[in-house]
Structure 1
Amino acid sequence: MVDEFKDVMQKRFKMSSLSTISFFLWLQVDQIEKCIFLHQTKYVADIFSWFKMEDERVAKNPLSVNHGITPEIQGEKFNQTLYQAIIGSLMYLTASRPNIMFATCLCARYQANPNANLMLAAKKIMIYLKGAPSLGLWYPRKDEFELTTYSDYDYGKCKRDFKSTSGSCQFLDSRLISWQCKKQTAVA
């Protein structure tokens, strides 16, 4: 069955091999006997190089509790294209790094009119990654299927419209299978 699928795919698409996956679209897959580990260690190193941030210090968290990120109208404007490129790179990292989801989504809200404070927040997320570049997702090979969900809200902390941001994650036993961070559409 696998060989038939491999033959069909190689006839339809230009492919070098259909062996065990180890690297796909900047996502690294390490398959060990008892688990699978998904991470983007090489991508983290590459974005530090692309944005010339190799010499930055290390941060202990991606965003301070009292971050003060607001859509300030005044303030020093920042290069929109560079800011969007950094935010886009960080958004792609959330595929294997749910720990930066909230901070990245918060910075992504203000891509149309970035200022120096927003750029500092985005850089802090980047330098947080420098301290732990190889974090990722572990998927143990078990037969247990207990679904657990966790959620949290910040209860109207947006300074502009006082809407809440919610976050949730779903686990199938000990495997993280889904996560999200979303600004609510209405005031709670």
Structure 2
Amino acid sequence: MKMPPGYSIPNKEKVCKLKKSLYGLKQASRQWYAKFSSSLLQYGFNQSRADYTLFTKGSGPSFIALLVYVDDIIVATNDLKAVSDLKEFLATKFKIKDLGCLKYFLGLEIARNPTGIQICQRKYTLDILNDVGLLGCKPSLIPMDPNIKLCKDEGQLLDDPSEYRRMVGRLLYLTITRPDLSYSINILSQYMSSPRVPHLHAAYKVLRYLKKSPGQGLFFPSSSSYHLTVYCDSDWASCPDTRHSTTGYCVFLGHSLVSWKCKKQTTISRSSTEAEYRSMASASCEIIWIKYLLADLQVPHSQPATLYCDSKSALHIASNPVFHERTKHIELDCHLIRDKIQEGVLTTAYTPSQSQLADLLTKALHSPMFYSLLLKMRVTDLHSPSCGGILNQAKAMKSSQQHIMQATSSQQTVTSHQNQQIM
């Protein structure tokens, strides 16, 4: 604490009475992060440029990574002594509490064993169902009906829109472990300003889907390669209000789903090819960012990432740097993918529509295709009786992995045949 200018009295002792906690001030989080980050940098950590909340330190075979969210910290390392030294250093600077092995963090439930790691948000999901009063509702097989198209002007306005906004806001946090909710929550969040009765009913259907499998989450196998594989897709002019297309992509590190996105495009595409090309550009930006992140984590990835798309015309535009009359209206930033192909950062490949995993992120699907794509994404329910726990789940994952490998090999065959046609 420093005295304000003009208040200091020479040779006089002063006592200040604190009337408000520093924790509640607007600048408290900024000052805390500045103090914490400077302490870590002083200790020898390097701050990631891809994610400023990630700090890494490596010396020889020892490596330690630290991820901070306000005053909650996760530490991962291959050297237990490095963690002990880090805790001793932080104890000299701050008042800390060691919570032990990671099991629960900001609503995330983590289960580990030699086969891999399972992450879900079961408690958070059950809390939402309990607060809304749908804990005993009839479950739904899918989160959104494929035959229903929501509009901003159809239906009666809600008398109290705060209930809808609070519900969708809480559901947004579930998408960090559940890619199966990305498309439906993306649609519902577009009507936050003036929600109507059909929008509320669609949100209730999402909650009834959560009732079916509240513990559903992602499984990350311990034995996996470091090759980046990306699936991108788009749904042309899918928005009935603006006629904007929807972009969706999912990124796999080996067989682990590490990133995904569903977002409405900012401009109107004149053709489905243009919409697919824009989705490829968005996926390319994600590949570049993940490669920066892998470099900070000291994970080598020299081989080019593979970008799968189910539009042959979009693949031709991406591979051919010659100016086309039909693509001159597309922004220059979308042609980033051409430069990255020439630099060897990524390679493009064709995949059939039935093997397009990103299809789950661009449209509402019927239950057979919906659950087929979920299995390939390794989205499973650890608490399901049919799962039998994470040990028995590994057997199902192994069969799913073999299915994905077969699909990938068939895709590569189609790609080589396509390249021969291009040449």
Question: How high is the TM-score relative to the length of structure 1?
Answer: 0.94
Amino acid at match of 2:130: S
* CA distance 1:164–1:121, change in 2 (3 Å): same
Partner residue, 1:55:
136
Q: Is the 8 A contact 1:6 1:18 kept in 2?
A: no
User: What is the rounded CA distance, in whole Å, between the counterparts of 2:220 and 2:228 in structure 1?
Assistant: 14
Amino acid at match of 2:196: N
Partner residue, 1:147:
228
State the shift of 1:18 in Å: 4.5
Partner residue, 1:42:
123
User: What is the rounded CA distance, in whole Å, between the counterparts of 2:221 and 2:208 in structure 1?
Assistant: 29
Identity of aligned residues (%): 30
Q: Is the 8 A contact 2:224 2:254 kept in 1?
A: no
SS of 1:114's partner is coil
How many matched pairs?
188
User: What is the rounded CA distance, in whole Å, between the counterparts of 2:180 and 2:136 in structure 1?
Assistant: 23
* CA distance 1:116–1:5, change in 2 (3 Å): same
Computed over aligned residues only, the root mean square deviation of the Cα atoms, in angstroms, reads 1.5
Matches within 5 A, 1:4-43: 4-43=85-124
Q: Is the 8 A contact 1:78 1:114 kept in 2?
A: no
1:96 equivalenced with 2:177 (yes/no):
yes
Partner residue, 1:159:
240
1:72 equivalenced with 2:153 (yes/no):
yes
Greater percentage in helix: 2
Partner residue, 1:174:
255
SS of 1:112's partner is coil
User: What is the rounded CA distance, in whole Å, between the counterparts of 2:92 and 2:196 in structure 1?
Assistant: 51
* CA distance 1:142–1:186, change in 2 (3 Å): same
State the shift of 1:8 in Å: 2.8
Write the deviation string for residues 144-166 of structure 1: whole angstroms up to 9, x where unpaired: 11111112211101111100011
> Which structure's CA Rg is the greater one?
2
* CA distance 1:10–1:123, change in 2 (3 Å): farther
1:128 pairs with 201, 206, 209, which one? Answer: 209
Partner residue, 2:48:
none
Higher relative contact order (CA 8 A, sep 6+): 1
Q: Is the 8 A contact 2:164 2:192 kept in 1?
A: yes
User: What is the rounded CA distance, in whole Å, between the counterparts of 2:107 and 2:199 in structure 1?
Assistant: 26
Amino acid at match of 2:178: R
User: What is the rounded CA distance, in whole Å, between the counterparts of 1:145 and 1:59 in structure 2?
Assistant: 36
